A and B are shown apart, each in its own frame.
Chain A
Amino acid sequence: KAGVTQTPRYLIKTRGQQVTLSCSPISGHRSVSWYQQTPGQGLQFLFEYFSETQRNKGNFPGRFSGRQFSNSRSEMNVSTLELGDSALYLCASSLFQGWTGELFFGEGSRLTVL
């Protein structure tokens, strides 16, 4: 079956712009979580959605937001981009809320902010 799909794979933005990233989970998976990966900070949890509700949020400023649609697809948005937002953004899906074992990850969206 199809894996987790993230779009776009690569994008370049300038400071002050905003960006929207998309994640389509594995069919039947209702939980989607987002992670930011940078060389300096490593992997950090952004937020998790289950049944269109944000269930958990990491320690990121309000510029980072997300949502989940009724078909479980999720988007995350970053407004007023800063240079430090340059990162690989990974989306993961699972059957149930939170973790019960294996999370399935997409290949990520690599954002460069100039």
Chain B
Amino acid sequence: AQKITQTQPGMFVQEKEAVTLDCTYDTSDPSYGLFWYKQPSSGEMIFLIYQGSYDQQNATEGRYSLNFQKARKSANLVISASQLGDSAMYFCAMSVDSNYQLIWGAGTKLIIKP
């Protein structure tokens, strides 16, 4: 069965520090994609970053990077130099080629302290 696990329900981080949000996944499908989304209190899901299972290099998008460790089945999100506006829920999600839907983790609530 396909599954996404986020083990950190909540995190407090000091502004300007780097943050790592954990995500592990489980799938037997060789072709899959891993996503990170941010959900502020307004409810909208905001796409942050994507990593394909065959991508050799870790994905980066501005202050966001994805630490992809295929053997460990982990896809941690790293936010460098955190900002107050980064406070939100963060969701890790996966899609596999054989099934056109996103499977979501439970999310991590990140609070950035000034």
Contact = CB atoms under 8 A, between A and B. Distances in A.
Interface residues of B, number: 22
Given A42-B106, A42-B107, A107-B42, A99 B47 contact: no
A99 B45 contact: no
A103 interface: yes
A43 B42 contact: no
A48 B95 CA distance: 13
Interface string A23-46: 000000000010100000011110
A60 to B, nearest CB: 12
Contacts of A108: 43-44
B100 A99 contact: yes
24 contacts: A42-B104, A42-B107, A43-B102, A43-B104, A44-B104, A45-B102, A48-B101, A55-B100, A56-B100, A92-B45, A98-B95, A99-B95, A99-B100, A99-B102, A101-B50, A102-B50, A103-B35, A103-B47, A103-B102, A105-B45, A105-B46, A105-B47, A107-B44, A108-B43
Contacts of B107: 42
Contacts of A44: 104
B54 to A, nearest CB: 14
B99 interface: yes
B33 A88 contact: no
A56 B24 CA distance: 25
A44 B42 CA distance: 19
A90 interface: yes
A97 interface: yes
A98 B104 CA distance: 15
B42 to A, nearest CB: 6
Interface residues of A, number: 25
A104 B91 CA distance: 14
B101 A104 contact: no
Contacts of B103: 45
A65 B99 CA distance: 19
Given A108-B43, A108-B44, 13 more contacts: A42-B105, A43-B93, A48-B101, A55-B100, A56-B100, A92-B45, A98-B101, A99-B95, A101-B33, A103-B45, A105-B37, A105-B47, A107-B42
